[in-house]
Structure 1
Amino acid sequence: MPRLNIPTRDEAPETTHGVLDAIGKQLGFMPNGYRLMASSPAVLTGVTGLQRELSKTLDATTRHYISLAVSEVNACAYCVSAHSHVAGTFGKMPAAEIALAREGSSSDPKRAAAAQFAKRVTETRGKVTDADLASVRDAGYTDPQIIEIIALSVQFLLTNFINNVAETEIDFPESEATVA
């Protein structure tokens, strides 16, 4: 049972209904995580605004790898399940690649570098080593792209923390347990 109230769409502040409806249309249902954030219109608007802007960075598949690597580090069962479902259903990522992404890896070396760097950013709270930076640069990422990887990591960290605190009920197909 969630530790924070998750309003229904109609219980959520009216100013959030448009955003919730758009998310529901896109995914085919209104996820608990978004309804939870709708308790605070500022949080829902801030998170979805950040998501919208960062969806213009890198490519969708690389963003899936980052979301899964960060969510796994944070042991966010809700987000791992959500991102696994979205990556597999909409991103057409095979299960084996989803498993690699959760480890901070990929069969594609460039994506592996992005996922590993996001994992390191999360694990070290941003205090990555020179070797970590060299590795992501050697894979072909520019400094602006490295900043985007960091920002994406923080975006996923934010929703991981919200869902971990709330113990949000998983309403996506459940993934295997995360490693803390």
Structure 2
Amino acid sequence: MPRLNAPAPDAAPGGAKGVLDQVGAQFGFVPNLFATLASNPTVLDVVMTLQTTLSRVLDAKTRHTIALAVSEASGCDYCLALHSYVSSELGGMSSEEIDLARAGRSTDPKRAAVARFAQQVVDFHGQVSDADLAEVRSAGYTDPQILSIVTVAVQVLLTNFINNVNQTGIDFPDVPPIGTTR
């Protein structure tokens, strides 16, 4: 049960109503995360601005891979469900690719390095080793791209933390633990 109050979409304060309408049009409903964020239009704006801005860094499958790896590492069931849905339905990722990303792996060596690195960033609170940096660099990532990876990971952590604090009700298809049948 959610621990923070979320206004009804039609009662959202300030400019949040317009944002919720846009999100609702994209998903066909207003996901609980965005309804919760609407209680503070400034926070909603921050999250939406970060998501929009970061959609210009890295390719979509790489961003989805980071989101899945980070959400698994931080134990956010809501974000795992949301990112699994988005990765599958909008990102064209297979169930196998989604499970691998959650496990910090991929069949694509470059995305595998990103998934591992993103999980290291979370697990070690950004204090990654020289070997971690060398591994992501050897996969072909430049220092500006590594900054993008870290920034996407932190943006995902922001919503992971909000949903973990709130215990946001999952309104996307549940995802089973890694390695179980879908």
TM-score (norm 1): 0.96
Aligned partner of 2:44 in structure 1 is 44
**Structure 2: unaligned runs, 5 residues or longer:** none
The alpha carbon displacement at 1:176 in A equals 1.3
Call closer, same or farther: CA 1:5–1:111 in 2, change over 3 Å. Answer: same
Residues 77 and 177 of structure 1 are in contact (CA less than 8 Å); yes or no, is this contact kept in structure 2?
Answer: no
Deviations 1:13-52 (A, max 9, x none): 1311111111111122110001111111111000110110
Cα distance between partner residues in 1 of 2:51 and 2:37: 13
The alpha carbon displacement at 1:11 in A equals 2.4
Given residue 24 of structure 2, which amino acid in structure 1 is its aligned partner? Answer: G
Residues 11 and 17 of structure 2 are in contact (CA less than 8 Å); yes or no, is this contact kept in structure 1?
Answer: no
Aligned partner of 1:64 in structure 2 is 64
- Pairing 1:31–2:31 present: yes
Instruction: Report how many residues are paired.
Output: 178
Given residue 47 of structure 2, which amino acid in structure 1 is its aligned partner? Answer: V
**Structure 1: unaligned runs, 5 residues or longer:** none
Given residue 138 of structure 1, which amino acid in structure 2 is its aligned partner? Answer: S
Aligned partner of 1:137 in structure 2 is 137
The alpha carbon displacement at 1:67 in A equals 0.2
Q: CA RMSD in A?
A: 1.0
Residues 3 and 165 of structure 1 are in contact (CA less than 8 Å); yes or no, is this contact kept in structure 2?
Answer: yes
Cα distance between partner residues in 2 of 1:105 and 1:12: 40
Cα distance between partner residues in 1 of 2:148 and 2:79: 20
Residues 113 and 139 of structure 2 are in contact (CA less than 8 Å); yes or no, is this contact kept in structure 1?
Answer: yes
Cα distance between partner residues in 2 of 1:15 and 1:91: 28
Cα distance between partner residues in 2 of 1:11 and 1:107: 45
Q: How does 1:11-160 map to 2 (within 5 A)?
A: 11-160=11-160
- Pairing 1:169–2:169 present: yes
The alpha carbon displacement at 1:177 in A equals 4.2
Identity %: 56
Question: Any runs of at least 4 consecutive aligned residues in structure 1 with deviations exceeding 3 A, and if so which?
Answer: none
Cα distance between partner residues in 2 of 1:11 and 1:167: 22
Deviations 1:46-70 (A, max 9, x none): 0110110000000000100000000
SS in 1 for 2:106: coil
